Amino acid sequence: MQSVYIAGASAGSGKAAVILGFMEMLYAVNRRVGFFRPMVATGPLDDNLTSLIRDRYDLPFPPEMLYGCTAAVARKLIGGGQYDEFLKLILDKYKRLEDECDLVVVSGTDFRGLVPSLEFDFNADLANNLGCALVVVVRGFGRRPPEAVQALQMAHEFMRHRGGDVLASIINGVSPEYLDEVRERALALMPPTESVYVLPEQPTLRMSTVGEIGQALGAECLSGAGDSLNQVVTSYQVADMEVPEFLKHLDDGCLIITAGDRSDIILASLAAEASSSYPRVAGLLLTGGQHPAPSVLRLLGGLERTKLSLLSVKTDTFQASLNVNRIEPTILPGDGRKIASALGVFESNVDVDDLRGRISVRHSERITPLMFEYQLIRRAKSIPRRIVLPEGGDERVLRAAEILQLRRVADLTLLGNPERLARRCAELGIKLDGVRIIDPATSPDRERYARVYYELRKHKGISEQMAHDVLVDVSYFGTLMVYCGDADGMVSGANHTTQHTIRPAFETIRTTPGTKQVSSVFFMCMPDRVLVYGDCAINPNPDAEQLADIAISSAATAAAFGVVPLIAMLSYSTGSSGKGEDVDRVREALRIVRARRPDLHIDGPMQYDAAVDASVAAAKMPESTVAGHATVFIFPDLNTGNNIYKAVQRSSGAVAIGPILQGLKKPVNDLSRGCTVTDIVNTVAITAIQAQIEAQPDDQPAARLQGQVEWIGTRRPVKSAAQAAS
């Protein structure tokens, strides 16, 4: 089941009633339904909608699990240019709730007090990152049919631009006289894969109750409670005249706003409420912080049948009137009339069985960069591994280490002089509590590592003294920590070359059995999916055997990180159309892979457009089950791969994570010298996950790929290499 994100396309859409309808529909068949608010004003206990849902559906979660952050935290993060951190905070809290539920109904925020013009943009962005199907609620209140349908069309054009996964659209609050026309126009506008519903205006839901007004104003309730507070306010009347004139202006359901010392108005309102010859008064709002005389309060206390509530506020009458006029109606817990009205409208105009069925069979394939990064951190945290960072003196490494330690992603060791690192951390305001710091020059383990290195390399002419000397180098020391089992992985390269970082691993750790070639991949995080590019960092001109090794290793890496491996062997020619040494090398690599790993889904040679574009693939490689849908791209040489990954990164805004080394017995990964703190955090998380995988020796590559391929939707069925050959 896919969770649902319900967002208003504009302010005043009335989405609270729609959210209530969805909760009722889903809760009726599944009690493991959660509810989540990305942002609340001050806290979940003060949020009306959260309180309503918790109370009505008896949600077994503490209030703090049901929201992402407060408005104050949101302002601080967004105002400080930390929008991604804001999204990550919400995503982290949402995932904790999602783990406890079968699905979650998310109520989009109105973003009040921040940047209202970005409300829908923010909600669309967040729905994508949470992996939710989006339900768009369009305001129909006060709009004629062309205006309502145009608003729907604009919302959908925006969502198509954002790449949103729209489940249904609802035009809410359409005048009954326009209902059929709006429904007909909306159905003609929407594609058949998306549901669209039109809900008629329900006057009760567009009006505030006395209780809602009292809560919004922080009023003190002097008299009347329970059902009295559920009286609907149809209008309000400022009473500053004499009683005879006041009585002439009463309307049914009006709220009387008057000074607290106007006992005559209070008593006249009580009399009008009890009289069958005058309109019904909904309640009184007394201003100026003044209370009625004790004798009047005593009179009120003795009335058993009155439904008149008296509320008191400290503001003057003019300001109180302005405040009342700004209040937007909502649904409070315990307001049975409004709840029944909202559910009645929803269930009478929405095909709940069809909608419930659509939700139950949907599964999101979307993986945004934020989702992928979150999954990396979460998976790394599940079984913490020991990761060594040799470049302890680099500010970026120190800042990344603090983040990793605070989030408990891995057990870290930094290499460097402890006193110097302590001074540097103090200068930067960084705390590294719990992080181990080792100086290779003075470490008692240096002698042990030197002896190990000597035994491994003496056949190459390395002497014991040379081995001892080389172990002062942080790259060698960190690598020997991994080789000897004192660390599970290493991440370096922030201020060392790739060669400096990986040479020690080639000399000591070496390749996994069955793999002849160490290679690398980049995870290319596109707006809605993750692609794998290899090799873009290690092998300049691989031959056919090496290309085959790169393809097999890249498939295993992709599968290990949740990317279904559909492998495209890239070249300047597609299919059998081209000739030449380079394209023949790719064909030979394809043959080798199919012979060694017939379970893999691989095809080639093909050009990049045929690999990613289904229409091009249909023309150039119509029989291929990989072309047009590739997820793993094997480039013919380093020149091509390195330039393509950087071109895609810079021109599309994709997040490139890597290079990630593959083929080593134990994980060692290289950073770019231009890396950011986020790059380091992600690479450490990936290294920790690789270490988790390597700790399971029986988990062979073929087993890792087993069951990974699930083809969803209307795409062509995927066949393995063996199936394709047959």
CATH C-level class of 372-508+666-690: alpha beta
- % pLDDT > 70, the chain: 91
Taking Cα atoms as reference points, which of 571, 581, 582, 584 lies closest to residue 621? 571
Mean pLDDT value of segment 106-122: 66
- The predicted pLDDT at position 625 comes to 87
Q: Over 60: is that where the pLDDT of 481 sits?
A: yes
| Arithmetic mean of pLDDT over the chain | 84
What b/e readout covers 679-712, taking b as 16+ CB neighbours within 10 angstroms?
bbbbbbbbbbbbbbebeeeeeebeebbeeebeee
Q: Over 90: is that where the pLDDT of 164 sits?
A: no
pLDDT tens, residue by residue, 267-296: 888 888 777 788 888 888 888 888 888 887
CATH number of 4-202+339-349: 3.40.50.300
The token pair at 346 is 């929803």
pLDDT band at 708 (very low <50, low <70, confident <90, very high): very low
pLDDT band at 593 (very low <50, low <70, confident <90, very high): very high
- The predicted pLDDT at position 362 comes to 60
- The predicted pLDDT at position 698 comes to 52
- The predicted pLDDT at position 458 comes to 86
Q: Over 80: is that where the pLDDT of 643 sits?
A: yes
Taking Cα atoms as reference points, which of 287, 193, 201 lies closest to residue 238? 287
- The predicted pLDDT at position 554 comes to 93
pLDDT band at 594 (very low <50, low <70, confident <90, very high): very high
> Is the Cβ–Cβ distance between 331 and 342 less than 8 Å?
yes
Q: What share of the chain is helix, strand, coil (3-state, %, to 5)?
A: 50, 15, 35
Q: Which residues pair with 311 in a beta bridge?
A: 221, 285
> Is the Cβ–Cβ distance between 610 and 574 less than 8 Å?
yes
Q: Over 90: is that where the pLDDT of 130 sits?
A: no
pLDDT tens, residue by residue, 400-432: 898 888 788 899 999 999 999 998 888 888 888
Q: Over 70: is that where the pLDDT of 726 sits?
A: no
Taking Cα atoms as reference points, which of 282, 203, 213, 171 lies closest to residue 48? 213
pLDDT band at 448 (very low <50, low <70, confident <90, very high): very high
Helix (H) or strand (E) holding 523: strand 519-525
pLDDT tens, residue by residue, 31-51: 688 999 998 888 777 788 888
Mean pLDDT value of segment 710-721: 35
pLDDT band at 1 (very low <50, low <70, confident <90, very high): low
What b/e readout covers 452-463, taking b as 16+ CB neighbours within 10 angstroms?
bbbebbeeeebe
Q: Over 70: is that where the pLDDT of 114 sits?
A: no
- The predicted pLDDT at position 700 comes to 46
Which of 585 and 209 is assigned the larger pLDDT? Answer: 585
Fold of 511-663+696-726: Rossmann fold (3.40.50)
CA-to-CA distance for 158 and 376, rounded, in angstroms? 30
Q: Over 50: is that where the pLDDT of 719 sits?
A: no
Taking Cα atoms as reference points, which of 500, 536, 511 lies closest to residue 648? 536
Give the Cα-Cα-Cα angle 711, 717, 720 (nearest 5 degrees). 95
Q: What is the DSSP letter of 720?
A: -
**Given strand 519-525, what is the order of strands in its sheet?**
601-606, 566-570, 632-634, 530-534, 519-525, 655-662
pLDDT band at 221 (very low <50, low <70, confident <90, very high): confident
Tell me which of 141-145, 240-244, 315-319, 577-581 is least confident.
577-581
Cα separation values, 653 from 527, 647, 648, 678, Å: 8, 10, 8, 16
Q: Taking the domains of the chain in order of start, what are their residue ranges?
A: 4-202+339-349, 210-328, 372-508+666-690, 511-663+696-726
For domain 210-328, the CATH superfamily is HprK N-terminal domain-like (3.40.1390.20)
pLDDT band at 297 (very low <50, low <70, confident <90, very high): confident
**Given strand 67-70, what is the order of strands in its sheet?**
67-70, 33-40, 103-107, 4-8, 133-139, 166-174, 195-200
Q: Over 70: is that where the pLDDT of 138 sits?
A: yes
pLDDT band at 207 (very low <50, low <70, confident <90, very high): confident
pTM: 0.68
- Matching fold, domains 210-328 and 372-508+666-690: no
Q: Over 50: is that where the pLDDT of 168 sits?
A: yes
The token pair at 390 is 């040799």
Amino acid making up residue 604 = G
Q: What is the DSSP letter of 623?
A: T
- The predicted pLDDT at position 189 comes to 81
